[in-house]
Every structure is written in structure tokens, then in C-alpha cells.
Amino acid sequence: MKQSKKYILFIILALAGALQIHAKIYNVRDFGAKGDGKSIDSPFINQAIQAASNEGGGTVYIPSGEYSCYSIRLKSHLTIMLESGAKIMAAFPTKDEGYDVAESNEFNKYQDFGHSHWQNSLIWGIGLEDITICGSGLIYGKGLSREESRLPGAGNKAISLKDCKNVIIKDISMLRCGHFALLATGVDNLSVLNLKVDTNRDGFDIDCCKNVRITDCSVNSPWDDAIVLKASYALGYFRDTENVTITGCFVSGFDQGTAMKATYERDEPQAPDHAYVCGRIKLGTESSGGFKNIAISNCVFDRCRGLAIESVDGGHLEDVVVNNITMRDIVNSPIFLRLGARMRSPEGTPRGSMKRVRISNINVFNADSQYSSIISGVPGSIIEDVSLSDINIYHQGGYSEADGKIVPPEQEKIYPDPLMFGTIPASGFYIRHAKNITFNNINFHFEKPDGRPLFVINDAQMIDYNRITVNGIKQ
């Protein structure tokens, strides 16, 4: 009996030892990080990351405290665990210190500076696998810039990943993150789960990525898009963004910082582009590659722009499903589909396409009426096979019969946004350069009378309507 007890105890101790080996924790304080909000702690966090990497990976633990940092360089097989009360705070560059310099990219003319470089970020990784960033802590991009300074040492993204796979980002909060809270380019098997983001430019830019889950996130980004799928040429080749779900998310354009502190203020109406607050879900603008097999469901929009689905640089956008969406206080088109020919892609890239888009169960309350909703290709490139069903839109109305005679400019090469067309001649949907578009059970309501026709069709075929109502009256 005594013998067997000893044997059991030995096994327990051996197991405990083995578990400790496999669950090694690299506490950044053990590497010299102070977390006092003043000292620059990124060198010590990077040492902890390197130590974990040297041993094949592990968990880098960041306990409560305020860690002023410049660039944190991720490695493979790594978990960054931000404890409750832990804050990674982006420091302002000084004369002698700053973020890693933006690496060269010979393809940077095909997309903005921000999309073309990854190392000039608070947290970045290139060519990695098996990365998790998690915990209840905060990433505060205080010293990051959303603007266009090119000074060495300037940082403009909170988390930036290129050519990575098997990435999980979950539970953290992100505040004021510069150009992007998250830029993921060429990242496969990416899960972004339960993030709370309140930022001063884009929220998540998911660019050339495959198999992406964005689930249960709140993104407030009054000055740019909240959740955006892109397919730029930043990698130097065409790559689709495909097999993506965006589910259970809340996007908004409340005054900066007020979603994070839960006051949801509405005093600042404008975004820097002067098209009113943004904060929407969008596909595009960068669209050299395509978008395939995208599902957006059970999402809420508040005080922001409407849903935008765009392909303008040659990408093929197809098999997109959007359903169970409710929107309130929408400052431009509730639904905007644009196939354009901006062609910010290598010379000779053929035009793109847009087809098989299904939009259903959409409720919109208090939408601006100037731009109504738009489905517009360009001459020679048409949007096809789109169905819209079970949609209720409460518009502000107030436009005149004369407005119904406006012919919007084509704007084939212009950056796509409803405002590029000026006032739209339709009170409901403006459809141009399109075919096989089906409207089923679409109910419009107008706060003020609107003298424009409900639908205006131009160079479009096979437009089918089934049960259309205005203010409860069947048309």
C-alpha cells in the first residue's frame, strides 16, 4: 500500500512538472519591464518574446500596469496575454527613439502608405504562424498617427500582420490606434473575437486574407471604416479575400473615445473627408484582388454610413451574403453597390466584376435621403445577379420632383463613395449598368414627402419587383 501511494505521488509530481514545462510563462516584468507608464518597456517585452521563441514558443504574460512601448515584434508560436488592467500604450516618437522604420515595398503605389508597410507599427509580425493576442487588457495607440507624416520613427498601426497563418486576437480592447487598429494582409485562418475598439481611423482592415472569423466585436470609428475587407496589391500579387464571416458585430460613428467610455456622444458630425461620420462595414476600396464567399450577418450599425460593397480595381466580387442587419441614423446610402474602374492595379489589369450578391432582412431607420441606395456599375462593366429581399428603409425624404431629373455623373475612376454622384434622382434605389436585379418585399417610409421616383433605372435589364410598398401602401 505504502509503495502504491509513493507511486501515485511520483506520477502526480511528474505530471505537474511536465505541465509546467509545457505551460511556461514569460512574465515581461522578469525581463525588466516596469509598467510605470513612463519607461519605454518595448525592449523588455521583445526580450520576453525572443526568450519564448528560443524555446519553441510560449506565453508572454503582461500583468497589470501601463507599458509605454515602441514596436513590439511578434514571433511564431506565441501567445501575448494582456492581463486585466494591463495597458500597452504607444509612446510618441522622440528625437532618439521611435517605431521600426517602414520597410521598402516596390508595390506601394497601388495602395495607400498605411496599407503598404507593416513594421512601422506598435505590434507587428511578418511570415509567422500560431499567434494569439488575448486577455482583458487595453492597447492604447496614443502615440500612433492617423495622419501622413513620413518622419522616421512615426508609427501608424496598432497591430499589423503580413503573410501569417493561424492567428487569434480575442477579448482585448483597442483605443485610438492610428491608421488601423488591425491591418492583416495575407493572413490565413484569422479569428478576431470579442474585441472592443474605439479608434480614430480604420478599425479592422482584412486584406488578401482567407478563412477569417470576425465575431462579436464592437468597433467605433467615426473617422473611417469600422470593419473593411480589402484585396490590395500590397503583397505584390493578386490575392482574393475569401471565406470570411462577420457576425454579431456592432459598428458605429460616435464621437471618438465615447464608445469606449460608454457615453456614445454625438456632438461631432464630420469626418475628415467631410462626408459625415463613417464607422461602417465595407468591402473595398482596395480591390485589385477579389472578394469571394463572404457572409455578413446579425450586425448592428448606429450613427454611421451604410453598408458598402465595392470593387473598383479589377477584383472579382462574388458570392456575398448579407442578412439580419439593423441600422439607425445612417448618414449616406443605406446600401451602396459599386463596380467601378478606378484600376489602382498594375497596368493592363482587366476590369473586375460583381455578381451573386444576396441582401436580406435589413432594417434601416432614419437614413439620409440625398443618396438613397445605389447599385451602379460603369459602362461596359455591369453588376449582375443581385437579390434584395425583406428590406425596410425609413428615409428622411425631403427631395423634390426636380431632383428626380438629375443624371449623376459616371465617375468611373473616382474613389467610390455615394457622394461622388451628388444628389441621386431616386428616392429608393438608383440602378445603373446592372442586370438581373431582384427586389422582393421592399418597404420604404419617408419622414418628409420625396418627389423623386422610387426607382430610377438606367442601362439596366431584368429588374424584377415583387411587393414594394411606400408608407405602407403597395406600389
Partner 1 sequence: MNKVKTIILIALLTLFCIHTNAVEPNKFSIVLSGAQNAPRVLACKTPEFSFHFPQMAGNFRLGLISGEKSLWGDQVKSVKLQKKEGKLIYTLSDDLLKDGKVIIRMARLTDSDGFVMEVEGINIPEGTDLFWSFGGSYAKILSDKTKSNLKPEYCKDNVFSVEGNAFTVYYGESLDLKVVQAVVPSESDIRLSDAHKQATPLMFHQSGKKTDAPVLTGTNKLINGKLYFCFYVQNTKADYNSFMLPELFKKEFNL
Chain contacts with partner 1 (rule: CB under 8 A):
92-95, 142-143, 145-151, 200, 223, 255, 267-268, 270-275, 414, 417, 419-420
Cβ proximity to partner 1: between 225 and 255 the closer is 255
With a CB cutoff of 8 Å and minimum separation 6, the contacts of 250 are: 217, 218, 219, 299, 300, 302
Cβ proximity to partner 1: between 134 and 414 the closer is 414
Is the dihedral angle over the CA atoms 113, 114, 116, 122 positive or is it negative?
positive
Q: Within 13 Å of residue 249, how many CA atoms lie on the same side as its CB?
A: 30
Cβ proximity to partner 1: between 207 and 255 the closer is 255
Cβ proximity to partner 1: between 275 and 406 the closer is 275
> How far apart are the C-alpha atoms of 255 and 277, rounded to whole Å?
9
What's the burial of 338, exposed, middle or buried (CB within 10 Å: 0-12/13-18/19+)?
A: buried
> How far apart are the C-alpha atoms of 218 and 223, rounded to whole Å?
15
Cβ proximity to partner 1: between 66 and 417 the closer is 417
For 78-119, the DSSP string reads: EEEEE-TTEEEEEPPP-SS--SPPPPP-TTGGGS-HHHH-SS
Q: Are 222 and 279 in contact (CB under 8 A)?
A: yes
Cell 423623386 identifies what position? 452
CB of 30 to partner 1, least distance (A): 31
Q: Are 86 and 63 in contact (CB under 8 A)?
A: yes
> How far apart are the C-alpha atoms of 214 and 227, rounded to whole Å?
9
CB of 47 to partner 1, least distance (A): 27
Q: Are 207 and 183 in contact (CB under 8 A)?
A: yes
Cβ proximity to partner 1: between 71 and 443 the closer is 71
CB of 147 to partner 1, least distance (A): 5
Cβ proximity to partner 1: between 315 and 416 the closer is 416
Could you write out the three-class secondary structure of 59-88?
A: EEEECCEEEEECCEECCCCEEEEECCCEEE
CB of 150 to partner 1, least distance (A): 6
Cβ proximity to partner 1: between 185 and 200 the closer is 200
Q: Tell me the sheet residues that pair with 392.
A: 363, 443
CB of 298 to partner 1, least distance (A): 32
Cβ proximity to partner 1: between 97 and 401 the closer is 97
CB of 452 to partner 1, least distance (A): 22
Could you write out the three-class secondary structure of 257-268?
A: CCCCCCCCCCCC
CB of 41 to partner 1, least distance (A): 19
CB of 201 to partner 1, least distance (A): 9
Cβ proximity to partner 1: between 93 and 289 the closer is 93
CB of 284 to partner 1, least distance (A): 17
Cβ proximity to partner 1: between 209 and 271 the closer is 271
Would you state the cell numbers that stand for residue 100, as one nine-digit string? 521600426
CB of 261 to partner 1, least distance (A): 15
CB of 110 to partner 1, least distance (A): 20
With a CB cutoff of 8 Å and minimum separation 6, the contacts of 143 are: 89, 90, 91, 92, 93, 155
Q: Are 453 and 427 in contact (CB under 8 A)?
A: yes
